[in-house]
């Protein structure tokens, strides 16, 4: 039975890593939002499974919050926002898919090398989940670094949050209060970013970061 | 006894070289090559005489008076001696036919036996002095052969670069041997084996050996001379250089690192493995874009050397962790690939020479349709292309399979760096294996199939009997090695036991002549059965269909979707074939840009497609080095024009510096 | 004696079932598109028709062109006969493992690409060069997937892999990655949508069809049969590795064999249905997006192997 716990937890965490990879090479807005939705659903299943094997009922609430906010509310409002800003048909220039994938694999290898030897004495399920979570965080950061469109950066930031939540649930015993505050801070950050995006769009008619750099006056 | 015969044969080869050099008779071509063929056969036979497990040694009073010349024939030397002389015999037999087309035979004839003798001496040497003298002798005689057609400026440039890289290699080996011999200065290998070395010394020797032997073998980034020098020499010499001389370099690496350096550390394997993987990928990607047939084969040699070094690196890593069986498997895979490559690369170079003699062209973009005018050569080259692409039932597949099995044993390596590097090496190996098949589909398809693209290709002549017999004999050996690999594995097994401390299970005892490198339940392969099944199925299918269905054939124009174009220029060329891969994979290794110049409608000039390829290794490594060397030379040139006071102050400064050194050292 | 009969029946079974699988997939695709579609046995009729026809050869086609169909058929049939379909551990199953099977398919592809170059038309070169590009990415992806699966199962022999999966079914991450990767490679190697359209004759979209454009009559029949065998082989490999339930073992009795046959037919039907479903729901990709698609399979295989190297429980 223990083996089944391991395997399903690993499958779900691995699915999260896979979703981060797919996010890396999406160049359409709608594709980005769909893959992010899939990632959020996988996150909620993963947290729910952790709740089952750790017998920690408060994690079910975390799973529900992730499902409702990150898989329903945020994607729907993002979809709404990009349609109002009329950028939902934009194709973004993404760096060569080969290079990005190789960098992604290198980052996964890096997180494995960092986490696994350092936690050799800990519970095997927890340490491997943390290794996967670190990979998701690093891949989210890679996405933020390689993108030019502000909406893609927001989604990269969100996937980074997903990785953090996975890490937090893997390490047993994250209190309820902390979880709610994390969720709310995410929501508020999202609202703020949304408002800013609208303002930027209104003023400059674009959310492309290179264009914004030019306006800022830093000619390169 | 076998060692004595071997040494006498080598002496005879040197004597032959001397006789030809001083006698200058032009019509002696066939006799000389025939004699070389005989000597190589004798040397090959000395290796298969059973010697027992003891190594034979001999000391001759040649060379330095207090060192003498030591020679040794143990299992490793015997294997490489067999490889060298098989290649040498085949090249001599080929040259009996090919050598008659040579316009300046006296530029080639004296150096050919000398080259063979030099390579044999390297393999048999048992002391550092003899090894280095033989190594330099081998390099210089091959340099002279590269310069055989020195009226061509490209060949002169190639020979210059070759000489520099060979000197660099010898310098590295000299320093490595100096460190090995230590301050005592006993250069014989037996003394070196007995001595213990500090770890920092071992790592330095490993690096120097990798530089020295790697430059001769063709490891990236020391490979730039190989695609220039190998095509410049006459074809039988190119075959020897590619298939045999590179293996002598591999022998040097194995002898120094596996034998003389003692037990390795785990990280010793990392450098050969990573360099081997990069070499394999780079070599085959460059081969994909070449249109000169011999340059393509030279780059393919680089790729195969990469595969050999991957196997050797894995063997080092396994041995450092005392995993004897896995180390034996990796070592066997590397040596098997050494043997295989010497066979099929020789055939391919012989074929390139046959094509060049028959058509006068080396550029595949000007060939085509040769399968109809040179049918026997085409058949043999088809077999060789199948062998090098690692396709069953030929021998290339067996060595690739063994390397993959060795990689599958690698998770047992405990070190983290190895755990991360081996999967990367595995994926690079898989990539280069797949690209090899594509490269040879391109080379064979463009050169031999289709329609002739030039008049030279349409009017080609078939090669002579000697060349064909040499090529066919080697192809037969390729097939035998692919069908009955267990014998070769069992032959390499004693060398594995001696040098990596483990052995594979005896393959001769496995029923049905399969090979099962680890255990029969784990993985096994039976080349004989696979070959029989394929042949029987093909014949059965052909027979059944011809008897029961129909055997009617009608000839007509090609269908071509209803728009057949009579001009052969509408066929795919080599560069168009490689374009998808150039576009998908090219930008990592080299910079490949297509420049298309399309005239506007109404303009009657031709459209132009230009392909720009920039070699990153040359640009980032060699060009800065040569620029800095030029810069330093320019600066030092100023020392020619000093005043008398300037010269006096130089002498004074040197004297003061030496006195300071003496003072500080005290 | 029984062993020989079992091996022989597997070899003839793969031969006779492969056109049926192709016909089944065409029928299902047509049904999804609200057509009634060709009968399931249509590929047999096509093969018979082609076999009886006269072959038309181009004037300058060589002996390589004429012998390639038989060689391609032979290598593909031997490869298909080595994959366990309804029983593992058959008489000659140890003569080639998964790597040998893939290499045999590589031989077939080598000859087919050469045949495409042989006639000296631009279409043949087009097909061969595109096929070479796909192969240069699909083969490494396949090898990495083989590594992943073999590291989990401890062997490269398909019978051993099936036995290992049967004994303790692995829901592991790397297993899942290998499944997705193998599905992608199988689609690419068999020339199915989204990589290649098996029913097209437009230059822009041809890959496999371009290589065999000049073949007619019995040669074309052999090549079509070989492609059908290749599809059956990939379905069998996926079934053997990821869904090995119902496979009879070498020393089973006749009832186990019958169950094995029925289970195999069911797996073929499900696999064909899923393939048809996938084909009607996506569009064909541009040729230069296929390296991205195959690169994804390569990365999945590499990730799976890396995870297994790092820790045994991945």
- pLDDT band at A95; cut points 50, 70, 90: low
Helix H segments across B182-292?
189-194, 199-217, 226-232, 235-240, 246-253, 270-289
- Tell me the DSSP string of B387-414: HHTT-TTSHHHHHHHHHHHHHHTGGG--
CA distances from C89 to C77, C249, C260, C262 (A): 18, 6, 13, 18
pLDDT at A192: 67
Quote the tokens at residue B400: 């690739």
CA distance C120 to chain B (A): 4
CB contact under 8 A, A11 and C177: no
Dihedral Cα A190, A192, A197, A199, nearest 10 deg: 160
**Chain A residues close to C141, C-beta within 8 Å:** none
Give whole-number Cα distances, A52 to A5, A38, A127, B348, C175, in Å.
Answer: 9, 21, 18, 64, 23
Q: Which of A102, A109, A118 to mutate to test the interface with B (most CBs of B within 10 A)?
A: A109
Indicate whether this complex's ipTM tops 0.90: yes
User: What domain range is C253 assigned to?
Assistant: 2-310
Contact between B328 and B244 under an 8 Å Cβ cutoff? The reply is no
How remote is the C-alpha of B558 from its chain's centroid? Answer: 41
Which residues are bridge partners to B592 per DSSP? B613
The answer to whether the Cβ–Cβ distance between B423 and C52 falls below 8 Å is no
**pLDDT for A148-174, tens place per residue?**
777 788 888 888 888 888 888 877 655
* Enclosing H/E stretch for B70: strand B69-73
Q: Which subunits have 3 or more CB–CB pairs within 8 Å of chain C?
A: A, B
Mean pLDDT of chain C: 90
Q: Look at chain C and report how many structural domains it folds into.
A: 1
Q: Could you read off the pLDDT of C81-119 as tens digits, one per residue?
A: 999 888 887 778 888 899 999 999 999 999 999 999 998
pLDDT at residue B198 tops 80: yes
What φ, ψ does residue C206 adopt, rounded to 5°?
-85, 140
Give the Cα separation of C210 and C190 in Å (integer): 14
Q: Is B665 in a helix, a strand, or coil?
A: helix
> How far apart are the C-alpha atoms of B390 and B435, rounded to whole Å?
11
CB contact under 8 A, C120 and B571: yes
Residue C267: the pLDDT is: 94
Cβ separation of A117 and B416 shorter than 8 Å?
yes
User: Cα–Cα distances in Å, from C30 out to C23, C274, C276, C287?
Assistant: 11, 14, 9, 25
Q: Does C74 touch chain B (CB under 8 A)?
A: yes
Bridge-based pairing of strands B553-556 and C55-58 is parallel
Q: Is residue B490 over pLDDT 80?
A: yes
CA angle B325, B245, B306 (to 5 degrees): 50
Closest-CA residue in chain B for A107?
Answer: B420
pLDDT digits (tens, 9 = 90+) for C235-286: 999 999 999 888 888 777 888 888 899 999 999 999 999 999 999 998 888 8
pLDDT of residue C197: 83
Chain A's closest residue to C293, CA to CA, is A97
Residue whose pair of structure tokens reads 């050292």 in the numeric block: B665
Question: Is B519 at the interface with chain A, CB within 8 A?
Answer: no
| B596 beta partners | B609
Separation between Cα atoms, residue B589 and residue B620, nearest integer Å: 12
Q: What is the mean pLDDT of residues B241-252?
A: 95
The number of residues in chain C equals: 314
Q: Any bridge partners for residue C96, and if so which?
A: none
Cα–Cα distance for residue pair B163/B161, rounded to 1 Å: 5
The 10s digit of each residue's pLDDT in B6-61 is 888 999 999 988 888 888 776 788 889 999 999 999 999 988 877 666 778 888 88
Q: Among A35-44, A92-101, B361-370, where is mean pLDDT lowest?
A: A92-101
Q: B260, B253, B347: which is closest to B308 by C-alpha? A: B253
Q: Is C302 on the interface with A (CB under 8 A)?
A: yes
> What are B363's strand-pairing partners?
B292
Q: Which of B416, B587, B588 sits opposite A113 (nearest CB)?
A: B416
Tell me how far apart the alpha carbons of residues B471 and B96 are, in angstroms, rounded to a whole number: 13
In angstroms, what separates the C-alpha of C32 from chain B's closest C-alpha? 31
Q: Do the Cβ atoms of A109 and B588 come within 8 Å?
A: no
DSSP C285: P
Neighbours of A, requiring at least 3 CB pairs below 8 Å, are B, C
Distance, in Å, from the CA atom of C153 to the CA atom of B184, rounded to the nearest integer, reads 54
Nearest to C120 among B450, B535, B553 (CB): B450
**What's the mean pLDDT in B331-341?**
95
Mean pLDDT of the region B420-430: 93
- Angle B324-359/B246-253 helices, nearest 10 degrees? 160
Partners of A13 on chain C (C-beta within 8 Å) are: 173
Burial per residue of B321-342, b for 16 or more beta-carbon CB atoms within 10 angstroms, e otherwise: bebbbbbbbbbbbbbbbbbbbb
Q: Does A109 touch chain B (CB under 8 A)?
A: yes
C237 token code pair: 């490999």
Domain with A152, as residue range(s), is 2-216
Q: pLDDT grade, residue A2 (50/70/90)?
A: confident
Closest CA to B363 of B439, B235, B229, B453: B453
- Alpha carbon distance C93, C75 (integer Å): 15
pLDDT greater than 60 at residue A3:
yes
Q: What is the DSSP letter of B609?
A: E
For residue C56, the surrounding DSSP H or E stretch is: strand C55-58
- DSSP-derived 3-state class of residue B322: coil
Number of domains present in the structure of chain A: 1
Q: Phi and psi for B73 in degrees, rounded to 5?
A: -125, 95
CA distance B534 to C72: 10
Write the pLDDT tens digit of every residue in B79-92: 999 999 999 999 99
A147 has a pLDDT exceeding 90: no
**Mean pLDDT over the full length of chain B:** 89
pTM: 0.91
pLDDT at position A188 is 67
C299-314: average pLDDT? 86
Encode pLDDT of C246-259 as tens digits: 888 877 788 888 88
Work out the average pLDDT over C212-231: 93
Kindly report the nearest CA distance between residue B420 and chain A, in angstroms: 7
What's the token pair of residue B537? Answer: 């199925």
| Residue B305 near residue B217, CB atoms below 8 Å | yes
d(CA C80, CA C16): 12
Give whole-number Cα distances, B57 to B6, B7, B69, B124, C305, in Å. 12, 11, 11, 9, 47
| CB-based contact A58:A48 (threshold 8 Å) | no
Chain B residue with minimal CA distance to C144?
A: B427
| 3-state DSSP of chain A | CHHHHHHHHHHHHHHHHHHHHHHHHCCEHHHHHHHHHHHHHHHHHHHHHHHHHHCCCHHHHHHHHHHHHHHHHHHHHHHHHHHHHCCCCCECCCCCHHHHHHHHHHHHHHHHHHHHHHCCCCCHHHHHHHHHHHHHHHHHHHHHHHCCEHHHHHHHHHHHHHHHHHHHHHCCCCCHHHHHHHHHHHHHHHHHHHHHHHHHHHHHCCCEHHHHHHHHCCCC
Q: Which residue of B has its CA nearest to A110?
A: B420
Q: What is the DSSP string of B420-443?
A: HHHHHHHHHHHHHHHHHHHHHHHH
Lowest mean pLDDT among B20-29, B286-295, C161-170: B20-29
Once rounded to an integer, what is the mean pLDDT over residues B362-386? Answer: 93
Copy the structure tokens of residue B110: 């004296």
pLDDT band (50, 70, 90) for residue A119: confident
C142, C185 Cβ separation under 8 angstroms: yes
**Per-residue model confidence as pLDDT tens digits over B261-289:** 888 888 899 999 999 999 999 999 999 99
Q: What phi and psi, each to the nearest 5 degrees, are found at residue C120?
A: 80, 30
**Residue A85 pLDDT level (bands cut at 50, 70, 90):** confident
């Amino acid at each position: 039975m223990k083996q089944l716990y391991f395997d399903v937890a690993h499958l779900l965490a691995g699915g999260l890593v896979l979703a981060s990879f797919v996010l890396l090479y999406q160049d359409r807005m709608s594709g980005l939002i769909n893959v992010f939705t899939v990632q959020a659903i996988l996150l909620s299943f993963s947290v729910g499974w952790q709740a089952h094997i750790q017998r920690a009922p408060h994690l079910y609430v975390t799973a529900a919050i992730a499902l409702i906010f990150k898989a329903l509310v945020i994607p729907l409002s993002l979809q709404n926002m990009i349609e109002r800003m009329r950028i939902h048909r934009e194709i973004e220039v993404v760096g060569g898919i080969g290079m990005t994938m190789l960098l992604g694999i290198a980052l996964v290898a890096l997180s494995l090398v960092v986490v696994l030897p350092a936690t050799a004495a800990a519970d095997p399920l927890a340490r491997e989940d943390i290794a996967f979570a670190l990979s998701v965080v690093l891949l989210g950061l890679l996405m933020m670094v390689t993108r030019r469109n502000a909406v893609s950066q927001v989604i990269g930031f969100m996937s980074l949050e997903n990785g953090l939540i996975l890490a937090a649930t893997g390490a047993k015993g994250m209190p309820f209060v902390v979880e709610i505050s994390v969720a709310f801070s995410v929501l508020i950050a999202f609202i703020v970013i949304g408002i800013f995006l609208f303002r930027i769009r209104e003023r400059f008619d674009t959310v492309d970061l290179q264009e914004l750099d030019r306006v800022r006056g830093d000619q390169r | 006894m076998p060692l004595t015969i071997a040494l006498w044969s080598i002496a005879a080869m040197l004597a032959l070289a001397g006789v030809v050099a001083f006698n200058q008779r032009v019509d002696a071509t066939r006799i000389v090559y025939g004699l070389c063929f005989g000597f190589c056969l004798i040397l090959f036979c000395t290796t298969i005489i059973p010697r027992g497990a003891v190594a034979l040694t001999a000391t001759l009073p040649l060379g330095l008076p207090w060192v003498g010349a030591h020679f040794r024939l143990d299992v490793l030397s015997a294997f490489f001696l067999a490889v060298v002389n098989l290649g040498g015999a085949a090249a001599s037999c080929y040259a009996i036919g090919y050598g008659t087309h040579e316009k300046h035979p006296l530029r080639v004839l004296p150096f050919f036996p000398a080259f063979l003798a030099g390579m044999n001496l390297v393999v048999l040497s048992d002391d550092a002095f003899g090894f280095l003298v033989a190594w330099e002798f081998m390099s210089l005689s091959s340099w002279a052969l590269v310069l055989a057609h020195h009226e061509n400026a490209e060949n002169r440039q190639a020979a210059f670069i070759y000489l520099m890289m060979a000197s660099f290699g010898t310098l590295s080996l000299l320093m490595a041997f100096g460190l090995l011999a230590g301050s005592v200065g006993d250069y014989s290998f037996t003394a070196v084996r007995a001595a213990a070395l500090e770890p920092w010394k071992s790592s330095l020797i490993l690096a120097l050996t990798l530089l020295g032997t790697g430059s001769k073998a063709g490891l990236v980034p020391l490979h730039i001379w190989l695609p220039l020098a190998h095509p410049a020499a006459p074809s039988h010499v190119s075959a020897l250089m590619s298939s045999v001389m590179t293996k002598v370099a591999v022998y040097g690496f194995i002898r120094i690192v596996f034998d003389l350096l003692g037990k390795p550390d785990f990280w010793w394997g990392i450098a050969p493995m990573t360099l081997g993987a990069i070499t394999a990928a780079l070599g085959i990607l460059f081969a994909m874009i070449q249109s000169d047939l011999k340059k393509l084969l030279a780059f393919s040699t680089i790729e195969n050397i990469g595969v050999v070094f991957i196997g050797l690196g894995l063997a080092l890593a396994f041995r450092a962790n005392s995993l004897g069986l896995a180390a034996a498997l990796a070592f066997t895979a590397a040596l098997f690939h050494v043997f295989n490559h010497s066979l099929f690369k020789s055939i391919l170079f012989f074929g390139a020479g046959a094509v060049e003699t028959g058509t006068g062209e080396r550029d595949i973009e000007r060939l085509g349709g040769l399968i109809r005018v040179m049918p026997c050569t085409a058949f043999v080259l088809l077999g060789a292309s199948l062998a090098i692409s690692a396709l069953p039932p030929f021998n290339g597949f067996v060595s690739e399979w063994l390397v993959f099995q060795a990689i599958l044993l690698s998770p047992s390596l405990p070190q983290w760096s190895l755990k991360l590097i081996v999967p990367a090496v595995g994926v690079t190996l898989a990539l280069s294996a797949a690209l090899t098949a594509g490269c040879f589909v391109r080379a064979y398809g463009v050169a031999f199939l289709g329609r002739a693209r030039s008049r030279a290709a349409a009017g080609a002549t078939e090669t002579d009997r000697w060349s064909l017999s040499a090529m066919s004999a080697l192809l037969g050996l390729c097939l035998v090695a692919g069908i009955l690999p267990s014998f070769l594995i069992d032959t390499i097994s004693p060398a594995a036991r001696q040098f990596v401390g483990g052995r594979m299970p005896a393959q001769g005892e496995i029923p049905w002549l399969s090979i099962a490198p680890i255990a029969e339940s784990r993985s096994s392969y039976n080349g004989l059965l696979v070959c029989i099944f394929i042949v029987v199925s093909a014949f059965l299918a052909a027979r059944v269909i011809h008897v029961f269905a129909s055997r009617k054939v009608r000839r007509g124009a090609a269908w071509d979707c209803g728009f057949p174009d009579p001009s052969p220029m509408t066929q795919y060329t080599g560069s168009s074939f490689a374009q998808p891969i150039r576009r998908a994979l090219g930008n990592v290794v080299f910079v490949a840009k297509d420049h298309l110049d399309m005239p506007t409608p109404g303009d009657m000039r031709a459209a132009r497609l230009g392909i720009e390829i920039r070699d990153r290794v040359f640009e980032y490594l060699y060009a800065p080095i040569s620029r800095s060397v030029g810069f330093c030379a320019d600066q030092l040139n100023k020392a020619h024009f000093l005043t008398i006071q300037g010269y006096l102050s130089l002498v004074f400064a040197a004297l003061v510096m030496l006195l300071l050194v003496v003072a500080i050292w005290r | 004696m029984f062993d020989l009969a079992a091996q022989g029946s597997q070899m003839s079974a793969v031969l006779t079932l492969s056109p049926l699988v192709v016909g089944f997939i065409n029928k299902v695709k047509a049904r999804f598109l609200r057509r009634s579609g060709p009968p399931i046995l249509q590929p047999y009729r096509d093969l018979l028709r082609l076999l009886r026809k006269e072959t038309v050869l181009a004037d300058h086609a060589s002996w390589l062109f004429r012998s390639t169909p038989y060689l391609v058929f032979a290598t593909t049939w031997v490869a298909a006969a080595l994959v366990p379909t309804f029983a593992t551990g058959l008489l000659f199953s140890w003569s080639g493992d998964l790597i040998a099977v893939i290499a045999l398919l590589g031989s077939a592809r080598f000859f087919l690409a050469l045949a495409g170059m042989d006639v000296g038309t631009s279409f043949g070169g087009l097909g061969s060069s595109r096929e070479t590009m796909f192969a240069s990415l699909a083969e490494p992806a396949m090898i990495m997937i083989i590594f992943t699966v073999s590291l989990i199962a401890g062997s490269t022999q398909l019978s051993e892999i099936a036995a290992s999966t049967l004994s303790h079914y692995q829901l592991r991450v790397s297993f899942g990655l290998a499944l997705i990767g193998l599905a992608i490679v199988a689609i690419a190697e068999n020339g199915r949508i989204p990589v290649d359209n098996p029913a097209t004759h437009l230059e822009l979209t041809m890959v496999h069809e371009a290589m065999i454009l000049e073949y007619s009559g019995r040669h074309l029949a052999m090549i079509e049969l070989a492609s059908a065998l290749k599809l059956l082989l990939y379905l069998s490999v996926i079934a053997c590795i990821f869904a090995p339930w119902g496979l009879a073992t070498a020393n089973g009795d006749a009832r186990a064999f019958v169950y094995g046959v029925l289970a195999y037919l069911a797996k073929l039907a499900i696999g064909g249905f899923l393939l048809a479903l996938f084909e009607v729901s996506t569009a064909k990709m541009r040729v230069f997006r296929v390296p991205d698609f195959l690169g994804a399979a390569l990365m999945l295989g590499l990730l799976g192997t890396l995870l297994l190297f790092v820790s045994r429980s991945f």
